[in-house]
Structures are given as structure tokens and as C-alpha cells.
Structure 1
Amino acid sequence: MYAFFLLSGMIDAMCYLGAPLPDGIQYCSMALALIVEGLLFSSHVHGREILDIHIHMLPVKVIAATVCVLLLEARYRRHPLLPLSRAFLLMLQGTWFWAISVILYKHGEGHSEWDLNSPASVMMATIYFSWHCGAILIIMLVMNMIMACFYHRQSQNGTKYSILSSENEEDNDNITEDRSSVEV
């Protein structure tokens, strides 16, 4: 799994440096890394308790959604909700991995206070997962509001910003004067 994410990062770096690679290869390499991660996670649950299986299968669903969003992003690169959706899903995956460790290993103490064979524990874990979704959405909305306030305050002072796109790599060192390309 780690080798595929390393390969994806290397491809990203090569694309950034201008290597002659096929257009969109960075999306495909990241999708491949996520697919491998999902396969490994779905195979990681054989012979385990129902709670352990459930909390390991929730990220598999998130990984599948991330792959779908990533492939849509490869096709529709200028759609602003797709990168935000990918960021949301990756943050959800990361925070849920942390939650899995807390549920199963109780902060490194080696045992769980959860009943790993209880349907009630499975339901509680699902509720916690939904709380992760809500918390990440709130965090992203607050970050968006802060950045929108910053953008509006700076634009009132005469400073104009725009989102830099990969189509104009040679101009990435300059802040462009075109305010119309940013929608807040």
C-alpha cells in the first residue's frame, strides 16, 4: 500500500517538474493507490469480531467514494466541489483511522472497553462515524468562511487574488490581476 502512495507522490512530483507524462496520470496513480488501500482494508477483516469488521469496512466505503470523486475530478478539473469533496473524504478517512485505534486499542493500552461482538457497539461506532462526517464538514465550512473574509478584506484594500491553475504553470509565481476567476 505504502509503495503505491509513494509512486503516486513521485508521479505528482514529476508532473510538477514538467516530465513528459500523459495528461491526468497523477489522478490515475492516486486512484490506483486508493484502490490498493481499499483492497487491503477489505481483506484485513477475515476472522474478526463484528465491531472490528464494521469499523474497518466503513473506510472501505469512504475509499471507494474517494476513487469515484478523484476520477470525476480528472474529467472535470475546473469544478470546485470535486477537490473539496476529495479533501473531505481524505480527512474523514484519516480521522476515522485514528478513531479505529481508539476504539480497538484505547489509546495504546492494548485492550478495548467496547464489546466487539455487540450489535449495540456497531451502532454506536456508526454514530461516531457520522459525527466525524459532521465535524469535518463544520471544520471545512469554518475554514471557507475565514478564507472568504480574508479574500474580501484583501480585495477591498486593492489586492486582487485569483486561483492559480495548472494550465498556467509558467505564471504560478505571480498573483494575477483577474478577480473574475474566483468565486467565493
Structure 2
Amino acid sequence: MPHIEEENAHHTAMLFVPLPKRTTQVMGFLAFAIESVMMVFHLHARNVMDAHIHKLLGLTMMCSMISALGECFNPNNFWLIITRIFFALTQGTWFIQAAYVLWPQTNNPIFIWDPQSHRSLSLLTMSYAYHLAGNAFLLIISYLLVYMSTSSRRKLIHYEIDDDEIMSDYKLISNINDEDNCI
């Protein structure tokens, strides 16, 4: 009670307002949108290769936005969730890749990129494609490991539980507030 004084009393109304359905998905979409807008206005006075790296990152952010928007309308669609995870993973790993391209930690000419060369842009685009393939491979391996660990556990308790009972109420994402909020 002592921290709620007259100048902060108006903030208490925020605690009692029910949140709209799927607020977390909408906030994810807005976060990707803001990040994309920042990336667009981040390209001024950059060399060709630096701008290209950022454009590829912006493309990834736009794909994240689209998958997050789709997830707002259908939050339990496995493919939308995997797509969002894939592009969010790609954002993070591409940040690391871009740092090594823009600021190499060596003086070895093999690892120094020519910022004005068309060849460097082509290699960078190819690196991005390989980067996407590597992230897809990483997600497939992760999915298979989770699948194998959960399927072996399910075999152990299969005789105790009827699968139809479990799957009838199963949701990938359960929003606790969805039933309470009618907005």
C-alpha cells in the first residue's frame, strides 16, 4: 500500500482490465514490426555489403512478422509456430554471422570481405542461403530429439491412458485468459 500514492493511483486501473485474446501473439507481431522499421531506417550511409547484410536481416524480420501474424489468427497451427521459431532463430544466428563479416577478428586476407565487391554480395547471399539450411537442419534435429524422447515415454505409460482422451483437449499453446476475456 505505501507504494501506491496519489500520483501513481491511476496505474491501478491497468491491473483490472482484461486483456484481449491472443495478446502475447499480437505483442510478438508488434515486436517484429518495430524491429523491421528500425532496420529500414538503420541503413543510411552504409556501404553496399553492410546494407545487403541488413536487408537480408530485414527480410528475415518480415518473415517473422508474417508468421507471427498468422499465429495471431491460428495459435495452435504447428507450422506457423515452427516458422516463427525458424525465423527468430535465423535472426539471432544471422546477427552473429554479420558481426564476423563486418568486423572480422583477424587480419588474414582470406577472411576479409571487400565491402564494394559484387562477388562479396553474391557470396554473402549464398552464405545466407546456407545459413537458412543450417537452421532448418538444427530445428529438424531438435524436433526429432524431442519426438524420440516423448515417444519413448509415451510407450511406457500407454497402457494407463487412452490417447483419444488426451488429444481431444490438446492445444499447442493454451492461453489461460482466452476463456475469461471476451474482447
In the superposition, the TM-score normalised over structure 1's length comes to 0.74
Q: CA deviation digits over 1:3-62, x for unaligned, max 9?
A: xxxxxxxxxxxxxx9972111222222222211111111111122211111001101111
Equivalent residues in 2 for 1:96-107 (5 A)? 96-107=94-105
- Runs of 5+ consecutive residues of structure 2 not aligned to the other structure: 1-14, 178-183
Structure 1 gap segments, 5+ residues each: 1-16, 170-184
Q: Secondary structure at the match of 2:46?
A: coil
Contact 2:39 2:54 in 1 (8 A): yes
* Contact preservation (8 Å) 1:101, 1:107: no
Task: Indicate the residue corresponding to 1:121 in structure 2.
Answer: 120
Alpha carbons of structure 1 residues 154 and 18: separation in structure 2 relative to 1, 3 Å: farther
| 1:60 counterpart residue number | 58
Look up the equivalent residue of 1:27 and give its one-letter code.
Q
Which letter does structure 2 place at the counterpart of 1:106? P
Q: 1:51 aligns with which of 25, 49, 52?
A: 49
User: Cα–Cα, structure 1 residues 137 and 19, in superposed 2: closer, same or farther, change >3 Å?
Assistant: farther
Which residue in the other structure is 1:74 paired with?
72
User: C-alpha displacement at 1:165, in angstroms?
Assistant: 3.9
TM-score, with structure 2 as normaliser: 0.74
- Of the structure 1 ranges 99-108 and 82-91, higher mean CA displacement relative to structure 2 is found in 99-108
Correspondence 1:10-159 to 2 at 5 A: 20-107=18-105, 113-158=112-157
Aligned length: 152
Q: 1: distance between equivalents of 2:142 and 2:91?
A: 19
Looking at structure 2, the residues matched to 85 and 168 of structure 1 have their Cα atoms a distance apart, in angstroms, of 23
| Structure 1 outlier segments of 4+, above 3 Å | 159-165
Q: 1:19 to 1:165 in 2, by over 3 A?
A: farther
Counterparts in 2 of 1:165 and 1:47: CA distance versus 1, 3 Å = closer
- If you compute each CA radius of gyration, which structure gives the higher value, 1 or 2? 2
Contact 2:76 2:172 in 1 (8 A): no
Percent of residue pairs bearing the same amino acid type: 23
Question: In the TM superposition, what is the alpha-carbon distance from 1:108 to its structure 2 partner?
Answer: 8.5
Contact 2:78/2:172 (8 A) holds in 1? no
Which structure carries more relative contact order (alpha carbon 8 Å, separation 6+)? 2
Q: Partners in 1 of 2:48 and 2:138 — Cα distance? A: 31
Q: How far apart are residue 94 of structure 1 and its match? A: 0.5
Deviation at residue 63 of structure 1 after TM alignment: 0.7
> Residue 178 of structure 1 corresponds to which residue in structure 2?
none
* SS in structure 2 at match of 1:20: coil
